[in-house]
Homo-oligomer: A and B are copies of this chain.
Amino acid sequence: MKIGIVGVSGFGGSELLRLVASHPAFELAWVGGESTAGQRLDARFPALAGHPAGALTIAPFVPDALGHLDLLFASLPTGRSREPLARVPARVRVVDVGGDHRFVDGWTYGLTELPGQRDAIRRTTRLANPGCFPAAALLPLAPLVRHGLIDTEGIVIDAKSGVTGTGRGGASDFGYVETSEDVFAYGLAAHPHVPEMETALERIAGGAVRIAFTPHIVPMKRGILATCYARPRPGVTQAQLVEAARADYADEPFVRLHAPANGRSAHTAWASGSNLAFLTYAINPRTGHVVATGAIDNLGKGAAAQALQNANLMLGVDEAAGLRGLPVWP
């Protein structure tokens, strides 16, 4: 199957490139970009010198001319996808890794493990991949909402992200000197992932969901830990939290439940380079808050690997094809 990637020079595009190049049923047939159009791929990524993909030339993005592709991954800056992706021929499936089509009419939201999503993804030709923070937070929260175990007003999500979560454009703000040995909160006033998370949970809850979300940048390249706090419904126990997640994710190939060990949650490093999500559930002994954590690779389950999982479903191949590699450790 012939695959294209537009936005190949960004962080998400780079990870898509790595995953597509190893996929047993995909052929990388086209790569496109904006500022880098005209360069050979191995001029942009010297590590590709000598690799077949390295000889590809980054093309300008002319959407109408991509009718030879079976599927296009679009990893463009937010705000830059709507117009061009509308011009991609209808027969070409599109996975938009960027943020412009989430919960937009005509597009299917693609966090595969949410209730009912898998079948919808199989049938769609226009898929909006979830944001990285929503991927990390919705996976631990969805079973709690679906099984009515938590109060959906006033959920607090405190997320810690590596720098690639900001995108390669955004990352130009993140110099080595300024970023190492530092932590800060951002998005205190607003963040585009909040409406996405609220909408996704409202569809499950059948009612209003309100989230206080505070993202933080920590000095690492990859990884997100979302620490979620919610009020349990009366009488809810930690065992019920775990049981709900176990029931919902029993057959999921990429979700792992991790019971706290020595009081520790799962680690973001466990997911590095993979499509895995590690979930940990606890109840705080002082206040009774539910504390649920989701640990992912923001470029994996939070972007490129999730996109590949969706592409597999859309093209009718094995859902885990190209995604079975173990995480990269150390």
Contact = CB atoms under 8 A, between A and B. Distances in A.
Interface of A: 11, 14, 17-18, 21-22, 45-51, 53, 153-156, 158, 160, 162-164, 168, 171-172, 174-190, 194, 198, 210-214, 216, 218-223, 225, 227, 229, 231, 253, 256, 258, 260, 262-274, 276, 278, 280, 282, 284-287, 289, 291, 293, 295, 299, 324-330
B183 A284 contact: no
B47 A326 contact: yes
B182 A268 contact: yes
Copies in the complex: 4
Contacts of A181: 162, 181, 220-223, 268-269, 272
Contacts of A50: 253, 256
Given A45-B329, A227-B158, A328-B273, A214 B291 contact: yes
Contacts of A53: 326
B177 A175 contact: no
A184 B266 contact: yes
A158 B47 CA distance: 23
A264 B225 contact: no
A218 B221 contact: no
B268 A17 contact: no
Nearest to A225: B183
Nearest to A163: B176
B21 A287 contact: no
Given A47-B271, A194-B286, A216-B227, 8 more contacts: A160-B183, A177-B221, A184-B295, A188-B284, A189-B260, A210-B286, A216-B225, A221-B330
Contacts of A214: 227, 284, 291
Contacts of A293: 185
A219 B329 CA distance: 16
A138 to B, nearest CB: 16
B188 A291 contact: yes
A177 B174 contact: yes
A79 to B, nearest CB: 18
Contacts of A183: 160, 218, 220, 223, 225, 267-268, 295
